[in-house]
Structure 1
Amino acid sequence: MVFQLNQAIGKVPPNGNPVVANRYGADPYALVFGDRVYLYMTHDALEYDGNGTIKENTYSSIRKIAVISSSDLVNWTDHGEIAVAGPDGAAKWATQSWAPAAVHKVIGGKDKFFLYFANNASGIGVLTSDSPVGPWVDPIGEAHILRSTPGVEEVTWLFDPAVLVDDDGQGYIYFGGGVPEGQFTEPGTARVMMLGEDMTSVAGTAEVIPAPFMFEDAGIHKRNGVYYYTYCSNFYDGERPEGSPPAGEIAYMTSDNPMGPWTYRETILKNPGHFFGVSGNNHHAIFQFHDEWYIAYHAQTLSKAQGIANGYRSTHLGRLFHNGDGSIQHVEADYKGVQQIKSLSPYQRVQAVTIGWSAGVMTEFEAAVGDRIVTDIGNGDWIGLSGVDFGRKGAGAFSASVICLEGGGTIELHLDEPAGLFIGELPVPAADGPENQIELKAEVNGAEGIHDLYLVFTGKTGVPLYKLVSWQFVE
């Protein structure tokens, strides 16, 4: 069959940034649990005016939090969205859900997960789950933190939580932002507060973090007994005292106590506009994974590549390095991203929504399967997986679980690039009646060692071909 390969947009091989290209994701927050990193992100979604034209992101209709995870930091599994706010959300009292923060704590011998979110800039809510991917429930049925909370009355923007569970099990929440009239130098709107043992209540009074030129985006991490509070500086365009953070950059302060006092240090990450040519707010999260430190941040790279950089943001990763004296080195944001830290095994079942790179496809929850799958598959679309280890013996066969649709077609298997070495193909029959999920298998040849793997989808043009649920190689 003659076909033309569709092109990747946003995340282009071999780059690692943005981390995914089939969805947007802003205000990233990282949770490490087991052998995986989970990224929770504000679910940016396109907004349209009355003429059907994409308009500037107003954030007003965002009621979901998107979740992806990875064990290697290049191939990411799409877990879909958490319905947080509104009548269909877990927190029905909330009208929006922005800027999540997630944390794990063992309570009563059981793993518990807590997802904090901003209800626009008027309060902070919390959901709980027994799993990092849900299902999530609202344990208190109301906001977790409001301006009636002790010490919070003067916070301009009550949002952007970050959470730390310290070595002794005590939890702390960091939040706040905004600039009171004329107070650009010392806004006084950053806060830290102790959490209750249950992580869904607060204790005592919120303390002020005197962050110079504070704007938004609380972050917290601990290393070698030092607490690092990180934040985004405001966009004041007047003169700044020497040593002050420039506009829209990620700055940090340190303390030997999670509640302070804090000492301002410097900035570590310039505004996205410096690196990618499209400016906007700056939001980050710092985390440790397998003894190395990383920073997640957002930029409008995917939407820029699509020609619609109207405030629709995507998550990126970079390495973070601490110097011997504990100071943090400057971060250089880029499209390259971070190094893959482990190979992907093709001999274990792989969810189709685990994607390194892609062209054309989307993902959605399929009720009949009970999981998220790859959809919108058209002729010339493809999925790429980075660093797949076929071993010395190599693979002998490929199997896939698919849902047949009108078109049917073929899954071609290529190594190292979409048009690279051809190792086999799997015919997918057209649906004969209602949609049904079937398992198919085909022989392959030439898949040995470590390669990038590409699943290239071919079939009739203009009709839906099939949906992909999962796949696996056998030796």
Structure 2
Amino acid sequence: MKSEDILREELDPAREVDTSKLKEPIVKEPPHGNPLLSHRFGADPYAIVFKDRVYIYSTNDTLKYDDEGNVIDNNYGHIHSITVASSQDLVNWTDHGAIQVAGEEGAAPWATQSWAPAAAHKVIDGKDKFFLYFSNNASGIGVLTSDSPIGPWKDPIKQPLISRDTPGVKGVTWLFDPAVLVDDDGKGYIYFGGGIPEGEYEMPNTARVMELDKDMISVVGEAEPIQAPFMFEDAGINKVGSKYYYSYCSNFYNGERPVGSPGAGEIAYMISDHPKGPWTYQSTILKNPAQFFQVGGNNHHAMFRFKERWYIAYHAQTLSKAMGVPKGYRSTHLNRIFFNDDGTIQEVHADYQGVKKVSNLDPYQPVNAVTYAWQAGIQVSECTVYYNRFVVGSITKGSWIGLSSVDFEAGATQFEAVVSSEKEGGMIEIRLDHQMGETIGWIDIPNTGGKTLYKSISRTVKRITGVHDVYFIFGGVDDQDLFTFLSWQFR
């Protein structure tokens, strides 16, 4: 069939999606970039860059309910996993699912919770090694290792890396919230701690730094204090040129503060010429989320450099607020960081807009269906057929996903989707530049023999060139779970 004739066919009106009845996104609408994911929460973000891709690790906030089905406040006690999402353009994000860390089914069964991760990459004996540090509530810090930024992960020491027995931690209220630096000389450092000893709001003296051994899974010497004004939690560490930047979240003391002190629940920073200090306090760079999104809570961040630009990842209760349950369930956001000529950092204005793309998406290679910029009405689940893969599921009529800046420089006339279904009647409509934009084709989803039997389905579409946002609109019989979507590509 010629591509220019593709739209002359008629869709089955029983399955065709009425564009006026497309499902509405909960919080993240095109062209906004925040929050990064809108189908799941993600708190306490931490970022690493590996092979031109950013990986963000987050505490896996999930809704908890009372006996009557009402959402209750997030008390964090049930959190056993850490989520991972990655992007090469900072606009389209791939959901890599959750790492099972704590509890009987976790990689570290000795741990009871997994909060506030930190991650690091280091080449050891010529091989890429990845390290995932996590908070076992506020009682200690564990570490997992992997040969890949997305796992599988294992616990190499089968006990806490940092505990109450670690030299130098006496007086630290909360042993949690790690940050890790691998310096230019290969030495590793871990930063952690938090809390407020009674009455010591202005200088709690609960932040610590400690050297990591070459293996990154053991510590050296004694933890040393960091004197951080009004420190509360959330260690951050970055090296910019020859300077070291230690950042943290200030506490919520509501009494009088000296001029120049951080406000309540703000991200502040200090600078040093050495990774262990001494540190000189500078200012704050990010006010509490309540200042921007009219919903408060704690503040947590991570700064990183990607393609010569600096960014800050942080969390806010924007998704849970939009769902009508702002009860401590947080989502990751991203904005730019700008440095002044003297090395100080400009204050960040958090927003829903987010950041601009740094590259276009390549449609000629297989793309995970769990990669998207925007969505409405979908869920992500683990694929039971292919290891460490995740799929778009719970697809019903009117749900959709959207991708930003897909580059069809070489042109395309063929669309291929890898799907599974246990029934006939699903379909994917392909539209350009808007959820209700031009339809360039569609693909019928057959009964593949079951949800675990994936098949590649191809179809000719109207020729497409240039850079476009692409929307996959899902159609089918009303009120049915239609099919599972694994991956796609154009030719």
Compute the TM-score of the two structures, normalised by the length of structure 2.
0.95
Structure 1: stretches of 5+ with no match in the other structure: none
> Which of 402, 407, 413 is matched with 1:384 structurally?
402
SS in 2 for 1:302: helix
SS in 2 for 1:423: strand
> Which of 49, 58, 74 is matched with 1:41 structurally?
58
Structure 2 letter corresponding to 1:376: S
**CA shift at 1:143, angstroms?**
0.3
SS in 2 for 1:452: strand
> Which of 65, 68, 83 is matched with 1:66 structurally?
83
Q: Distance in 2 between matches of 1:269 and 1:241?
A: 19
> Which of 97, 120, 135 is matched with 2:152 structurally?
135
Q: Distance in 1 between matches of 2:452 and 2:41?
A: 29
> Which of 93, 101, 106 is matched with 1:76 structurally?
93
User: Within the alignment, does 1:314 sit opposite 2:335 as a pair?
Assistant: no
In the TM superposition, what whole-angstrom CA distance separates every residue of 1:353-382 from its partner, at most 9, and x where no partner exists?
111111101111111233211100000000
Query: Contact 1:407 / 1:464 at 8 angstroms: preserved in 2?
Result: no
In the TM superposition, what whole-angstrom CA distance separates every residue of 1:65-112 from its partner, at most 9, and x where no partner exists?
000000000000110000000000011100000000000001111111
Q: Distance in 2 between matches of 1:262 and 1:420?
A: 54
**CA shift at 1:433, angstroms?**
6.1
Counterparts in 2 of 1:168 and 1:183: CA distance versus 1, 3 Å: same
Query: Contact 2:451 / 2:483 at 8 angstroms: preserved in 1?
Result: no
Partner residue in 1 for 2:6: none
Q: Distance in 2 between matches of 1:133 and 1:467?
A: 22
Q: Distance in 2 between matches of 1:42 and 1:328?
A: 27
Counterparts in 2 of 1:5 and 1:411: CA distance versus 1, 3 Å: same
Matches within 5 A, 1:65-104: 65-104=82-121
Q: Distance in 1 between matches of 2:80 and 2:485?
A: 28
SS in 2 for 1:18: coil
SS in 2 for 1:390: strand
Query: Contact 2:421 / 2:450 at 8 angstroms: preserved in 1?
Result: no
Structure 2 letter corresponding to 1:199: M
Q: Distance in 2 between matches of 1:13 and 1:356?
A: 8
SS in 1 for 2:464: coil
Partner residue in 2 for 1:9: 26
> Which of 360, 366, 371 is matched with 1:349 structurally?
366
SS in 1 for 2:290: helix
Partner residue in 1 for 2:429: 412
SS in 2 for 1:275: helix
Matches within 5 A, 1:40-189: 40-189=57-206
**CA shift at 1:142, angstroms?**
0.2
Q: Report how many aligned residue pairs link the two structures.
A: 473
Partner residue in 2 for 1:374: 392
User: Within the alignment, does 1:211 sit opposite 2:228 as a pair?
Assistant: yes
In the TM superposition, what whole-angstrom CA distance separates every residue of 1:447-472 from its partner, at most 9, and x where no partner exists?
21001000000001111111001000
SS in 1 for 2:304: strand
Structure 1 letter corresponding to 2:47: A
User: Within the alignment, does 1:192 sit opposite 2:226 as a pair?
Assistant: no
SS in 1 for 2:465: coil
Matches within 5 A, 1:413-428: 413-428=430-445
SS in 1 for 2:154: coil
**CA shift at 1:434, angstroms?**
7.0
Partner residue in 1 for 2:8: none
Query: Contact 1:268 / 1:329 at 8 angstroms: preserved in 2?
Result: yes
Q: Distance in 2 between matches of 1:435 and 1:256?
A: 56
> Which of 38, 49, 62 is matched with 1:32 structurally?
49
Alpha-carbon RMSD across the aligned residues, in angstroms, is 1.0
Percent identical residues = 60
User: Within the alignment, does 1:334 sit opposite 2:351 as a pair?
Assistant: yes
Query: Contact 1:408 / 1:431 at 8 angstroms: preserved in 2?
Result: no
Partner residue in 2 for 1:458: 475
Q: Distance in 1 between matches of 2:419 and 2:278?
A: 57
Displaced runs of 4 or more, over 3 A: 430-435
Q: Distance in 2 between matches of 1:428 and 1:214?
A: 55
Q: Distance in 2 between matches of 1:405 and 1:390?
A: 33
Structure 2: stretches of 5+ with no match in the other structure: 1-12
Partner residue in 2 for 1:21: 38
Counterparts in 2 of 1:465 and 1:230: CA distance versus 1, 3 Å: same
In the TM superposition, what whole-angstrom CA distance separates every residue of 1:394-425 from its partner, at most 9, and x where no partner exists?
21110100001335311000001111011000
SS in 2 for 1:448: strand
